[in-house]
Amino acid sequence: MVVTDFKLRYQGSTLGYVWSLLRPLFLFAILYEVFVNFLQLGHDVPHYPVYLLSGIVLWNFFAEVTSTCVDAIVRRGDLIRKINFPKYVVVISVAASALINLLLNSAVIFLFLLLTKVPIGWTALWAPLFIIEILLFALAIGFILSTLFVRLRDISYIWEVVLQAFFYATPIIYPLSLVAKRWPELAKALLLNPVGQAIQDIRYNLITHETLTLHGMTHHWLVNLVPFGIVLAALILAVFLYLKRSPYFAEEV
C-alpha cells in the first residue's frame, strides 16, 4: 500500500517525485520573501532561512498525514469489502508514505544547514524523538478523522478549516519571540500544542539555542508534560474509536 500510494501520488506529472521536494521549497521561497523582505520579520533569529524551512517541512508532514488519512478508509472501500485484513494498515500506510516525503525533505534541510554554516551539536540527536512525537500525534488525529469520515463525510471540510487555524496558531512563519514580547502567556499557550512544541524543540536542538521552548519559558516539569499528555489522550481516543467502529467498516464504506 505504501509503494502504491507513493507511486500514484505523482503519476502523470512531468517532474514526478521531484515535486515532493519542490513544493516545500516553493512555499518557503514565497513565505521568506513576504515575511522577511517585505514585513521585516525574523532578522533577530539566527539562521532564520533554515529555521523557517524546518518549520514548513515539519508542518507539511503533519498536515499531509492528517489530510490524507481523512478519507483513507473510504478510498480503500473496495479492498476492505473483498479482503479480510487489519484495517489499521490503511491509515498506517498513508502515514508511512508521508514519512518518506519527510525523509526526502530532511535531506534538503540538511543541505541548508551546511550552506548556511549552522553549527550542528550533539543536541541534534534529540530531533528524531520530537519527529516521532509529531508522527504519533498525526497518526492519532488521522485514525480519529478516518474513523469518523466513514459515517460523517463533512469531517473533511471541517478539518480543512481547523487545519488552517491550527497552522496560524503554530509558530511556523513567525518567530515565537514576537508573541512572547507582548503576550508571554499566549506564547506559552501556543506551545501546549504538541506540533508547535515539537517544532520549537527541534529548532532549539538542531539550529539555534536562542529558540523559545516550553521548557525554557515555564521551567515547570508538569507544564512541560502537557503536550505529551495531549498526544497520549489523542492516541487513547483514536484506539477507542477505531476498535468500536472498525467491525462495521465493510458495511459502511
Instruction: Determine the pLDDT at residue 11.
Output: 65
pLDDT at 3 over 80: no
Mean pLDDT of the chain: 85
pLDDT at 30 over 90: no
pLDDT band, very low/low/confident/very high, at 181 (cuts 50, 70, 90): confident
Residues 41-60: tens digit of each pLDDT: 666 777 888 888 899 899 99
Instruction: Determine the pLDDT at residue 38.
Output: 67
The lowest-confidence range among 38-42, 51-55, 136-140 is 38-42
pLDDT at 16 over 90: no
Task: Report DSSP letters for the chain, one per residue.
Answer: -HHHHHHHHTTT-SSGGGHHHHHHHHHHHHHHIIIIIIS--STTSTTHHHHHHHHHHHHHHHHHHHHHHTTHHHHTHHHHHH----THHHHHHHHHHHHHHHHHHHHHHHHHHHHTT----GGGGGHHHHHHHHHHHHHHHHHHHHHHHTT-TTHHHHHHHHHHHHHHTSSSSS-HHHHHHH-HHHHHHHTTSHHHHHHHHHHHHHT-TTS--HHHHH--HHHHTHHHHHHHHHHHHHHHHHHHHGGGHHHH-
pLDDT band, very low/low/confident/very high, at 19 (cuts 50, 70, 90): low
pLDDT band, very low/low/confident/very high, at 204 (cuts 50, 70, 90): very high
Residues 67-126: tens digit of each pLDDT: 999 988 988 888 888 888 888 888 998 889 889 888 888 888 888 888 888 888 888 899
pLDDT band, very low/low/confident/very high, at 13 (cuts 50, 70, 90): low
Instruction: Please report, for the chain, the start and end positions of each structural domain, with discontinuous segments joined by +.
Output: 2-252
Instruction: Determine the pLDDT at residue 84.
Output: 81
Instruction: Determine the pLDDT at residue 227.
Output: 95
Does the reported pTM lie above 0.95? no
pLDDT band, very low/low/confident/very high, at 37 (cuts 50, 70, 90): low
Instruction: Determine the pLDDT at residue 41.
Output: 67
pLDDT at 187 over 80: yes
